[in-house]
Structure formats: C-alpha cells, structure tokens
C-alpha cells in the first residue's frame, strides 16, 4: 500500500513539472493568415492612437485605405496608402513607416487591405 502511495505521489508530482516545449513562434497551428491579419490590425491600431507631430492642420478626420504586403524575406510593408485628407494621409504614412513588422516568409505575396476611419 505504501509503495502505491509513493508511486502515485511521484507520478502526480512529475506530471506537474512537465511543461509544453512548443511555442507559437515555432510555426505550428498558430501561424495562419487570419492571425497575421489580426496581428497587423492590432499593430496599426496601437501606432495610430497618438497623432504624428508633423501634421499642419488639426483636422485629421477621414478615411484612409492601406494595402499591406509580405516580402520574400517576411517583412510586412505598406504598399499603398490613400485618402482624401492629405494631413491624415501624411500622418498615417509617417506612423506606419515607423513600424518594423516581420512574419514568416511563408506568407510572402499575401496582401491585406484595410480602411482606417480616423477621428480626432
């Protein structure tokens, strides 16, 4: 009986010490285009929360269309940024170009299009 208790105690204790060895960066099931899309959205939202100091007018309201792409090396670049409000477009260009986003080269050639509705 005591041998069984000792065996169960050691088994339970060893199971508690085992930790997973994989991570999301290992390229498992966590790397999907939809997750990459969500990641880019979060990065863009965070960087655009504060306006860039370069703008000449305080009117930064409007919509901006942003097209992103993944290069062969895995760098996420902003290919095209368009909008009616030039101050807003300039602000968005400066803010997005300050980001240094990378992903797996497996996604090279993928494009994502976003519409940013910016309000002061």
The answer to the question of residue 110 being in a domain is: yes
Of the candidates 46, 24, 47, which has an alpha carbon nearest to the alpha carbon of residue 36? 24
Render pLDDT for 69-81 as a digit per residue (tens, 0 to 9): 989 998 999 999 9
Within a domain: residue 17? no
What is the tens place of the pLDDT at every residue in 31-68?
A: 577 888 888 888 888 877 776 666 667 777 889 999 99
Average pLDDT over residues 26-33: 53
Task: Look at residue 67 and tell me if it is in a domain.
Answer: yes
Please tell me the pTM assigned to this model: 0.64
- For residue 35, the SS3 value is helix
Across 7-11, average pLDDT? 60
Answer whether residue 22 is part of any domain: no
Do the bridges between strand 111-118 and strand 62-70 make them parallel or antiparallel, or are there none, so unpaired? Answer: antiparallel
Structural domain total, the chain: 1
Whether 16 is covered by a domain: the verdict is no
Residue at 70 is within a domain: yes
- Beta strands (DSSP E) in 17-110 are 62-70, 76-83
Give residue 60's domain range. 33-118
User: Is residue 111 pLDDT above 80, yes or no?
Assistant: yes
Count of CB atoms within 10 A of residue 57's CB?
Answer: 9
């Amino acid at each position: 009986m005591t041998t069984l208790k000792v065996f169960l105690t050691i088994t339970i204790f060893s199971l508690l010490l085992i930790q997973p060895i994989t991570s999301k960066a290992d390229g498992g099931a966590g790397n999907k285009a939809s997750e990459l899309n969500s990641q880019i959205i979060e990065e863009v939202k965070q960087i655009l929360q504060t306006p860039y100091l370069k703008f000449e007018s305080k009117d930064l309201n409007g919509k901006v269309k942003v097209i992103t792409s993944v290069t062969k090396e895995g760098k996420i670049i902003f290919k095209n940024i368009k909008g009616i409000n030039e101050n807003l477009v300039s602000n968005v260009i400066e803010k997005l170009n300050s980001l240094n986003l990378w992903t797996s080269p497996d996604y090279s050639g993928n494009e994502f299009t976003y519409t940013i509705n910016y309000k002061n």
